[in-house]
Structure 1
Amino acid sequence: MNAAVDHFAAWLATPLGQYLRDSEAAWFDAKVCDIFGYKAMQLELPQLDCLRANRMPWRAFAGQAAGTQIKCMPEALPFSEQSLDLLVLPHTLDFAGDPHAVLREAERVLMPEGRLLITGFNPWSLWGLRRLKADEVPWQSHFVAPHRLKDWLALLDLQLLNGAFLCYRPPLQRKGWLDKSRFLERAGDKFWPAGGGVYCVEVVKRVRGMNVIEPDWHHIAIPARSAAAAVEKIRLQAEKDRCK
């Protein structure tokens, strides 16, 4: 995985790679700025800083790619259970040896109600079709289908909150063609909403049997009514005493 991720990081410097990086960076910025807690971690691809808009006091990059601060396998994270408030996986599943094992680790290390942000290549898109004629990075990554990812998340009790598709322009390396096809962003989102080259999902970890304890307002209201009745009784008794 290390070599593939490093090649993908280098590919991000190409015109098509920059288009993808800018599109995903905008999505990540909009999501992480409203997620709060103490510890946030990005797994792989430090060249795309997905946590730059987040304000948690502890933020780190982990994985095997060059530039990561914590060296580890994505399938075996060196963190205790329920220790992270936010975990970001930018195309991590696309290049992992066992994508489902990575998700199991994500579920293990996330706090209850912790957030998981994932981006991946959409096989049901023009970008997915490019895989049929290309054998280099990133076209020969896993391209985990959105419906398969949804099934994996459900098995792990990870609840999908919302999702989006990005990168509707054709996967061409010529900047001129990318600029000319800018109109496809709005057209694709309107007429082919699931056809973007990249999907983005926001997930929350739910814990079974965990209930939010709320005050028993009915029980609390009873003494208040009793106290009001007692005050009224004292007032009426005082008026009677004055009339004697």
Structure 2
Amino acid sequence: MGIDNFSSEKSIISLGSWLDSPAGNYVRVWEEARLEELTVDIFGFNATQIGLPQVQTLRGSRMPHTWLTDTQLPVKGHDNAAKPLVVIQEFEELPFETASIDLVILPHVLEFAAEPHQVLREVERVLIPEGQVIICGFNPFSLWGARQVLGRMIDAHFLPEEGEFIALPRMKDWLKLLNMEVGNGIFGCYAPPFESEKWLNRSAFMEGAGANGWPVFGAVYIVQAIKRVKAMRLIGPAWKKKPAASPVSVPVANKIKP
């Protein structure tokens, strides 16, 4: 494993630890609630979450086969019987057959991957036609994004410093290049980047205000996309058009004379 891969893997592990903080729990609760709403009506047989096992992304899924795909051994409390773990070396190479997965969820993986484009290409490869991918990301155009930039300047990081926030329009462009049909995306977590649970709770009123007044400035977003496969057109010999069938004459019954 190269230095870049090791660095990104280490940083996403730090993000997992950050989720235990008041700010991290605030994000996790919002994401799990929204993902439960989104996945409950997605039907199929096979679904996998890639990375960040601290977030229960498939809690609402009714698919019979669900997996957690990660580069680490299970975190404490993981139910391997309910959601088997598939251990991989890196996110850029998925151990699944082509067109075999109905749903893939990426919780903040692309922001810490050494090659996010390759991760998306792998996701597109393993998805069945009409399969879906759901991506969670931090919004750089938010107070949290500004706090991340400031943290790098003064060496006082709020989130793991290696994480690269990816704007929703940019994420949509990446997905469209893979022939994905992309939804609008939803934003959430409008409270300022407080580290105190007390101040996060005091900012709870900003959820409704932010969703109605400045929806695109939420700290995190979730975007959903569907893999579309263009219909194939078979090329073959031109078939002669059959002549129109002659109308079938139906004998009229003789009138019964009185």
Report TM bin, short chain. Answer: 0.7 to 0.9
Partner of 1:177: 199
Runs of 4+ in 1 over 6 A off after TM superposition: none
**Root-mean-square deviation (Å):** 2.1
Aligned pairs for 1:1-244 within 5 A: 1-67=8-74, 69-72=85-88, 73-135=90-152, 136=157, 137-209=159-231, 237-238=252-253, 240-243=254-257
The TM-score with structure 2 as length reference comes to 0.81
Is contact 1:115–1:204 with CA below 8 Å preserved after alignment?
yes
Give the whole-Å Cα distance in 2 for the aligned partners of 1:66 and 1:196: 32
Instruction: Please tell me the residue identity of whatever aligns with 1:199.
Output: Y
Bigger mean CA offset, 177-186 vs 139-148: 139-148
Give the whole-Å Cα distance in 1 for the aligned partners of 2:72 and 2:166: 20
Give the whole-Å Cα distance in 2 for the aligned partners of 1:139 and 1:191: 30
Partner of 1:220: none
Give the CA deviation at 1:243: 3.0
Instruction: Please tell me the residue identity of whatever aligns with 2:98.
Output: E
The TM-score with structure 1 as length reference comes to 0.86
Instruction: Please tell me the residue identity of whatever aligns with 1:17.
Output: G
Matched positions, count: 225
2:216 is paired with a residue whose SS is coil
Deviations 1:82-138 (A, max 9, x none): 010000001011111111111111111100000100010000000100112325433
Give the whole-Å Cα distance in 1 for the aligned partners of 2:37 and 2:68: 19
Q: Which has the higher helix share?
A: 1
Deviations 1:171-211 (A, max 9, x none): 10111111111111111111111000001101000012259
The runs of 5 or more residues in structure 2 that have no matched partner are: 1-7, 76-84, 234-244
Instruction: Using the aligned pairs only, state the percent identity.
Output: 42
